[in-house]
């Protein structure tokens, strides 16, 4: 399949035309409208600092069904001890920049470029992008961020400066998702870290059906720390 070159038009090809590695299209921009359209179609941007914007829809897709969350005994103990204070949307920019910094140190580069940071801060200010923060002794110890549409949360990245900090933030998000009636947390690509918590791979066709169902719910826009806690 050819990789599609995007124009200024707000349009994406169907995800079924993705390359075997999930690459679907190149180009375009990171405007709010384009990003929201992409997520609604099961597509997300992922690229490095020295490349054009790349758009992906991998097959299989890693997802978390909130009710299928699995907690190890040790993680449950950490949660029960209230080791971390968890908040939402209290430090979005700090979280996304921390994610970028951690990936830079580990991989000598990151896809969370300044362009990406600006785009997701814009989505956050519009009430579509959200963060979950883990605090330890008053310091930001871990967290995650992503985009919410309908009854779906699209996880983008997470970081941890202290053991279990990001896992506790993720568990908090999943448990909140159950309360809100969310049916899907998109984890994008497979990691052992998330599979240990109950995430599973599904074929892209199944993911698209799940996404279509999740998008029937109204989107909970706004700042989650005041609107949804």
Q: Please state the rounded mean pLDDT for residues 14-43.
A: 97
* Residues of the chain by 3-state class (helix, strand, coil), percent to 5: 40, 25, 40
* Residue 107: pLDDT band with limits 50, 70, 90: low
User: For the chain, which domains are there?
Assistant: 4-58 (3.30.70.3550), 62-227 (3.40.630.70)
CA distance 188 to 160: 19
Taking alpha carbons only, the member of 39, 47, 46 closest to residue 15 is 39
Question: DSSP state, 51?
Answer: S
* Residue 48: pLDDT band with limits 50, 70, 90: confident
Q: Count the Cβ atoms, other than its own, within 10 Å of residue 228.
A: 15
Q: Residue 106: its pLDDT value, please?
A: 66
pLDDT tens digits, one per residue of 64-97? 999 999 999 999 999 999 999 999 999 999 999 9
Q: Residue 193: its pLDDT value, please?
A: 87
Q: Please state the rounded mean pLDDT for residues 30-48.
A: 97
Taking each helix axis from N to C terminus, what angle separates 114-125 and 32-40, rounded to the nearest 10 degrees?
A: 80
Taking alpha carbons only, the member of 149, 167, 102, 152 closest to residue 111 is 102
């Amino acid at each position: 399949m050819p990789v599609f070159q995007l124009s200024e038009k707000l349009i994406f090809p169907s995800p079924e035309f993705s390359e075997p590695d999930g690459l679907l299209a190149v180009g375009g921009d990171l405007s709010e409208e384009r990003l929201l359209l992409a997520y609604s179609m099961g597509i997300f941007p992922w690229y490095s600092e020295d490349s054009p914007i790349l758009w992906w829809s991998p097959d299989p897709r890693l997802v978390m069904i909130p009710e299928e969350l699995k907690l190890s005994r040790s993680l449950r103990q950490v949660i029960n001890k209230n080791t971390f204070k968890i908040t939402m949307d209290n430090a979005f920019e700090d979280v996304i920049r921390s994610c970028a910094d951690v990936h830079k140190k580990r991989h000598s580069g990151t896809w969370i470029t300044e362009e990406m940071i600006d785009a997701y801060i814009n989505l956050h200010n519009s009430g579509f992008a959200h963060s979950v923060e883990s605090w330890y002794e008053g310091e930001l110890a871990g967290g995650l961020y992503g985009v919410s549409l309908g009854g779906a949360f699209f996880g983008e990245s997470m970081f941890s400066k202290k053991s279990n900090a990001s896992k506790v933030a993720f568990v908090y998000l999943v448990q909140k998702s159950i309360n809100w009636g969310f049916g899907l947390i998109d984890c994008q690509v497979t990691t052992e870290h998330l599979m240990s918590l109950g995430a599973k791979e599904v074929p892209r066709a199944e993911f698209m059906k799940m996404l279509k169902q999740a998008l029937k719910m109204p989107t909970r826009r706004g700042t989650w720390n005041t609107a949804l806690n």
